[in-house]
Amino acid sequence: MYKRKSQLDTRNVLNILKKNGIHYEWNNSIKRFRTFSSIQNQKKESISWIRDRLPEKVTMQCTNLVSDFNFQNPLEDIAIIKVEDPRYVFAKILEELFARSNTQDYISAKSSVDKSVIIGKHCFIDDFVRVGKNCVIGKNVRLYANVSLYDNVRIYDDVIIHSGTVIGADGYGYVKNKDGIYEKMPQLGGVVVERNVEIGANTCIDRGTIDNTIVGEGTKIDNLCHIAHNVIIGKNCMIVANSEISGSVILGDHVWIAPCVTIKEGIKIGDNSFIGFKSLVLEDVPPNSLAYGHPAKITIRE
């Protein structure tokens, strides 16, 4: 679990020393820190290290200091930990509290994650809640490395999400003010991914503006696809690599989207339709249709 720097204090350091069998002396002061610094370029609320004396003309700003046993403390209001080899010990502290923590998952304590979920390295599950809804992840879900889930994302059971995918990012929504300058339209909806969906690597599914973006049960989305805000995808659809589905598109059930397809915003694609390779869809496609070309020409299947 990712440790935020703002949550660290002297006790985290002492635990590392105890775990590694390192002898220390301590002035019994407990101070918080959020980062690290050198003694020459100190940062506020940081941890630093020194040997036997302070450099000249240095004003201490850090809150925690690792030193050797010869250090005579002229400082007040700083936690001092004395060890035999402060440089080595400081390296261990950086490895445990900073280098390692930044390569592990961050999973919001407010999210609801079933114990059966498998989470790969570097995953991120957000806790920045805009509308009072945290992430919910159901049973037997697999998140591969580097998956990011924003707040207000609901993942149902038996879903697989491959590396680099982002779900719940803001949709591309802007409005012009009276001066003709674009301002962001708040994106306050969420994303719902229903049962037995698989989502390929480096795909992005945007949150809805007000209502949810929905990926229907059994749908399979390939690598490098973009699903924009307010899109509704039906059951058992197949969406193949490099396809782009613009905002508020509605796909029926059992729709097949071939590679490199672009679908204009607000279009409806009927059940059991097939959209061919590199097609540009600019008008609604009735159920049981074939659509090919740039722009796409539509043929009703018999």
Among all residues, which ones are annotated catalytic? 229
- The DSSP-derived string for 71-139 is -----SS-EEEE-S-HHHHHHHHHIIIIITGGGS-EE-TTSEE-TT-EE-TT-EE----SSS---EE-T
Which residue's structure tokens are 């097939």? 274
Measure CA 34 to chain center: 21
Q: Tokens representing 40?
A: 């020459």
DSSP three-state, residue 257: strand
| Order of strands across the sheet that contains 198-199 | 118-119, 142-143, 160-161, 198-199, 220-221, 238-239, 256-257, 274-275, 289-293, 296-300
Give yes or no for a cis peptide into 286 (omega within 30° of 0): no
Q: Which of 52, 76, 78 is nearest to 65 (CA)?
A: 78
Q: How far apart are the first and last CA of the chain?
A: 56
Residues 6+ apart with CB under 8 A from 234: 216, 219, 251, 252, 253, 254, 255, 271
Q: Tokens representing 9?
A: 């204090």
Residues 6+ apart with CB under 8 A from 61: 42, 43, 44, 46
Please give the Cα distance from 150 to 168 (Å, whole number).
5
Please give the Cα distance from 110 to 125 (Å, whole number).
10
Q: Tokens representing 236?
A: 């058992």
